[in-house]
Amino acid sequence: MDSFRWIRTGRREIPAHRDGVTIDTSGAGRLMTIAGKMLPDLDAAATDRFWLETTRDAHTATAPVFGVILVRDRLDMTQAIAAGRAWQRLHLTLNAEGLSAQPLNQPVEMIDRHQMLGRSDEIGSALATLARTEGWEATFVFRLGHDVIVHFCTGKKLS
């Protein structure tokens, strides 16, 4: 429910809140975006299913590069702040070079969620295996690629 509160789909909800994730940036196709703004909002379960499918089928399936920022102890605030600053510098540099990057931090967030709920965690070990570094922990995951902007009305690529 916490995540659901940040997803803005309705045409009145987007300008009213001016925060969160909007349907315009969710990776939905043009027709789905238009329909999403006109139809009644989805409930939390349907929104979660849509978000999972879009993340799997669009966001991660089309990303040519994934990146991970690693630290020795991701719960150490000094290291967390340094990682955030590194992300800011990297993101600005990529943008200046005409590239786009998007945080995909759900895997790192799920490590904490599993711990909080007392569940076994497979995500932390999977990230460690991907990173191939002993004694380092993933603190930030992102995707990277070329920026492609599609005009809302014509569907033509602008860049």
Q: Give pLDDT tens digits along the chain (159 positions).
A: 767 777 776 667 777 877 777 777 766 778 888 887 788 877 888 878 877 887 788 777 778 888 999 999 999 999 999 999 999 999 999 999 988 888 888 889 889 888 899 998 888 888 888 878 888 999 999 988 876 544 444 445 544
Is residue 108 exposed (0-12), middle (13-18) or buried (19+ Cβ within 10 Å)? buried
Q: Report the predicted TM-score, pTM, of the whole model to 2 decimal places.
A: 0.69
- Asked if 136 and 80 sit in the same domain, the reply is yes
- Asked if 69 and 53 sit in the same domain, the reply is no
End-to-end CA distance of the chain: 36
Task: Report how far residue 93's alpha carbon sits from residue 139's, in angstroms, rounded to the nearest whole number.
Answer: 20
Q: Which of 59, 82, 101 is the last residue of a domain?
A: 59
Residues 68 and 132: beta-carbon distance below 8 Å: no
Domain membership of residue 23 as a residue range? 4-59
Looking at the structure of the chain, the number of domains it has is 2
> Phi first, then psi: what are they for 44, rounded to 5°?
-60, -45
- Asked if 71 and 139 sit in the same domain, the reply is yes
